[in-house]
A and B are shown apart, each in its own frame.
Chain A
């Protein structure tokens, strides 16, 4: 009997322990400030400025049927200053009524000035914080501060951060001049010697003051618009240059990031006469040693359709198609070679060729490692081989053009 009583007593005690220890990490949804984007800048006296784009759940589309109401703005911007990011983040609580919650932060914007000064220190806090996702997209604010880039209202995706991320993803997928780079990839590149950081930039153009207001989304043509800009090339964590246009696409070819794009080739004296839509592409990078000097071979496989012809072109003729494929191969090869030369001028191995050599020839790499970007990379011999294939010709074999 007494034993049973003791057991009962213990059970009651244990139940109390569980209740007492519970709930410590509990947060109701209404106590959280969902930070959707973080902007990072530096003041002139070397302090960090952290910009929070906080979601205003009641005003986001889908929730507006009820209560949300007229004129509500889906996001609110707060800034805080501190000697380091954690300090800035904690100081933000002076302005934000809820717990700053980073688990849904999908975008990190780095101001151009901070990027030039160096982003080495920034990512430790991001990687260390368990809430923060390393899958967050990182972009550089071109010719402006991160705060400026984030203070705009966007029409289609109501949350500006979503607008930036989705634009970037979509343009990478179907055009291929911009890169959607995650924080994790940047941290990886920062820690490796044979690879440097490259990321896209974004720019806000137009009337910035009106851009901050509801007026911006009520106009058929927004007063201020966001758009993806050039690729930012970093070296040792510092922004050193910009790559744009076809060169940028060439970089993506080498990085195996091209999914779809479109390029045009000349045909029978007519410039840019046939347009080739790449639908699938794959790139392989292989390192070899040739008498002690490394040689990189880039193999590109592209598959796609004919998208447009501006000359009469007989697509039923296999020899014509073979000729077209050859021209496409040359075009891609030219573009990639040009891009590689352009990057070699910057003396920053954003392709990660160094890492390819590191994996294939670890012993030789040890000697090249220290002076890789200065001595070896700018003079590196890169062979580009392209294999293009025309899969379909669209709904038309013979053009109506005569």
Chain B
């Protein structure tokens, strides 16, 4: 609240400052080639990757022309083979005006898919910067922009964040076109619509909005569109920028927009009526609206049979709670409710605590923080050193600390279980929010014991129920309870029982499959089919 107030006061000044430090020359291009080249040189600051190649056009080679492109982000072999070679070699009509020469190149010579004539400098620069080649002809106040996008990209690899034992092995790359294609290949339907938006005043990042017309809720699509258009920022370097700029609630540890590296997950979500936001330069695709239970749905839940999927889903919810309250529970039980621990166990724990000089809270906090340090170090370090760190860490935490009598071995077990539990959550985004809340609950447990944990969990639940993602209640279909969609929450009903798409996200095109999809012997299915 306070932050919003401060921002609104300064809004006007910020908006004007946003954008570029130095403006691109406005207006149209000149008809003199030299002047145009000079403008480009000046604007790009003579950058070395701007390639300017002058040559002569026409039958008598008397018309000056130049192509300009950025090396590295264009397909150079295409420029040389199909554009430059043919432009220089081909015969032009005998008496040829510069204007006609340009037309001739556009229509007869250049073998590229997409070509546009442009006059405005800002359009031209945008094309140049996104990998197109500009063709200037002396004496013409128009330029031709030829699509020659290309260059080096990371190949499609197995996603590194959301691994699956069964399921497609390909993951998104940094290339927007490749990512869109990967989704297209999965949903061969003209109703899969892609909208392009450019965001970022300096970076001019291409962002694509993807949804299935007729399944996605138009109002939500419009809402996403408006929120994206409202963004005025200098740079979008990763989809995380967009996520933070368009989410419903900022002050929450829970993610209200889902992100994934897997095209099959995006395809499944599009088919449920959700909207994908693809950002150039990152393999992480945003999916909105997101609901709480979505973060517990691993992709394999749908590829494995339902009984196994249900068991794993329940396990994951248990894991979430374990990673949330395990240390808090330890603190509460050992400092307030010793009567709740079985006698044998309480004596064993007491024996270990005999030599520990700290209160349970300090002990737990110390171990949790140590673990977080190790985890953070392990993530940031190069892989080879990372392993060394984890070995040292395991020894330091696991043995030396216990032997030195600084922590009890029960605490080590608790911390280890918590740590492993937080890694077992399929979505890193929700695991990390559980980690933060864990510390809060530990603090409450120190003050009030189990009562404090209950208060904390109740507050967390209230907060979760108050969240919205693009207008969809975050806890749906659990709260508000939607019985027809309950089949894909804590449980995962058989595929043939999941007849409807999630309500609230989509309200028009609900039915997902035909009647009687449950496999059964031929005679019986015929009988039952007649009943319907």
A91-137: which residues lie under 8 A (CB-CB) from chain B?
101, 103-104, 106, 131, 133
CB of A156 within 8 Å of the partner chain: no
Contacts of A63 in B (CB 8 A): 347-348, 351-352
Using known A-B contacts A8-B2, A34-B347, A55-B347, determine if residue A29 contacts B447 with beta carbons closer than 8 Å: no
On chain A, the residues within 8 Å of B334 by CB distance are: 28-29
Least CB distance, B403 to chain A, in whole angstroms: 8
**Are the C-beta atoms of B2 and A58 separated by less than 8 Å?**
no
Indicate whether A32 reaches chain B with its CB closer than 8 angstroms. yes
Count of B interface residues, CB-CB < 8 Å: 29
B contact face: mostly helix, strand, loop, or mixed: helix
Q: Does the CB pair A60–B351 fall under 8 Å?
A: yes
Within 8 A of B (CB), among A45-61: 55, 57-58, 60
User: Shortest Cβ distance from A128 into chain B, in angstroms?
Assistant: 16
Q: Is the CB of A131 within 8 A of B339?
A: yes
Q: Mark A56-70, 1 if CB is under 8 A from B, else 0.
A: 011010110011100
A34 pairs with B350, CB closer than 8 A: yes
Partner of B448, one of A22, A62, A133: A22
Q: What total of A-B pairs shows CB separation below 8 Å?
A: 83
Pick the interface stretch among B73-81, B144-152, B354-362, B505-513: B354-362
Closest CB in chain B relative to A96 CB, distance in Å: 15
Whether A401 sits at the interface, judged by CB under 8 Å, is no
Q: Are A27 and B343 in contact (CB under 8 A)?
A: no
A92 to B1 alpha-carbon distance, docked (Å):
57
Q: A28-B359, A34-B347 are in contact. Are A58 and B446 (CB under 8 A)?
A: no
- Once the chains bind, are B353 and A30 in contact (CB under 8 Å)? yes
Within 8 Å by CB of B339, from A18, A57, A62, A103, lies: A103
Task: State in angstroms the CA–CA spacing of A43 and B448 once bound together.
Answer: 42
**Residues on A with beta carbons closer than 8 Å to the beta carbon of B447:** 18-19, 22-23
Contact B338 A29 (CB under 8 A): yes
Interface CB pairs A-B, < 8 A, 24: A1-B5, A22-B446, A22-B448, A27-B335, A27-B336, A28-B335, A28-B353, A29-B338, A29-B346, A29-B349, A29-B350, A29-B360, A34-B347, A55-B347, A55-B350, A60-B348, A62-B348, A62-B351, A66-B403, A101-B338, A103-B339, A104-B346, A131-B339, A133-B339
Q: Is the CB of A67 within 8 A of B354?
A: yes
- Chain A, residues 11-34, CB within 8 Å of chain B (1/0): the string is 000000011001101111110101
B1-52 contacts to A, CB under 8 A, are 1-2, 5
Q: How many residues of A contact B (CB 8 A)?
A: 31
CB of A270 closer than 8 Å to a CB of B: no
Q: Are B339's CB and A30's CB within 8 A?
A: no
The answer to whether the Cβ of B449 comes within 8 Å of any Cβ in the partner chain is yes
**CB of A4 within 8 A of chain B?**
yes
Say whether A197 faces chain B, with CB atoms less than 8 Å apart.
Answer: no
Chain A residues, CB < 8 A from B359: 28
B-to-A contact residues, CB < 8 Å: 1-2, 5, 334-336, 338-339, 343, 346-356, 359-360, 403, 405, 446-449, 452
Verify A26–B336 contact, CB threshold 8 A: yes
Contact indicator A30/B347 (Cβ below 8 Å): no
- A27-B335, A55-B347, A62-B348 are known contacts; what are 10 more A-B pairs with Cβ within 8 Å? A4-B5, A22-B452, A28-B360, A29-B346, A30-B356, A36-B343, A57-B348, A57-B350, A63-B351, A103-B338
Determine the distance from Cα of A27 to Cα of B403 in the docked complex, in whole angstroms.
Answer: 24
The complex places the Cα of A22 from the Cα of B447 at a distance, in Å, of 5
List residues of chain A with CB within 8 A of the CB of B448: 22
Residues of A within 8 A of B338 (CB): 27, 29, 32, 101, 103-104
From the candidates A1, A19, A58, name the one contacting B354 in the complex (CB within 8 A): A58
A26-B336, A28-B335 known; A104 vs B351 contact (CB < 8 Å): no
Q: Which residue of A is nearest B2, CB measured?
A: A4
- Which chain B residues lie closer than 8 Å to A30 at the CB level? 350, 353-354, 356
Residues of B within 8 A of A103 (CB): 338-339
Residues from chain B with a CB closer than 8 A to the CB of A32 are 338, 350
Supposing A28-B360, A106-B343 touch, asked if A67 and B355 sit within 8 A by C-beta, the answer is yes
A104 and B335 contacting across the interface, CB-CB below 8 Å:
no
> Whole-angstrom distance between the alpha carbons of A337 and B96 in the complex?
132
Q: Which residues of A contact B348 (CB under 8 A)?
A: 57, 60, 62-63
Q: Give, as a whole number of angstroms, the nearest-CB distance from B328 to chain A.
A: 14
**Residue on A nearest B360 in the bound complex, by CB:** A28
CA gap between A402 and B360 in the complex, in Å:
70
Name the residue in B2, B347, B405 with the highest tally of chain A Cβ atoms < 10 Å from its Cβ: B347
Whether A58 contacts B339 by the Cβ 8 Å rule is no
> Hey, which chain A residues are within 8 Å of B449, CB to CB?
25-26
Q: Given the complex of chains A and B, what is the CA–CA distance between A63 and B1 in angstroms?
A: 53
Alpha-carbon gap, A62 to B343, bound state (A): 13
Nearest Cβ distance between residue A214 and chain B, in whole angstroms?
18
B339 touches A34 (CB 8 A): no
Of the candidates A22, A28, A34, the one whose C-beta lies within 8 Å of that of B346 is: A34
A104 to B348, CA, bound (A): 13
Question: Are A26 and B346 interface neighbours, CB within 8 A?
Answer: no
Question: CA–CA, A32 to B355, complex, Å?
Answer: 14
Of all chain B residues, the one with the shortest Cβ separation from A131 is: B339
Q: Which residues of B contact A23 (CB under 8 A)?
A: 446-447
A58 / chain B contacts, CB cutoff of 8 Å: 351, 354
Residues on the A chain within 8 Å of B1, using CB: 4
Closest A residue to B447 by beta carbon equals: A22
Question: How many angstroms from the CA of A377 to the CA of B405 in the assembled complex?
Answer: 64
Q: Given the complex, which residues of A lie within 8 Å of B405, measured CB to CB? A: 67
> Which residues of chain A have C-beta atoms less than 8 A from B346's C-beta?
29, 34, 104
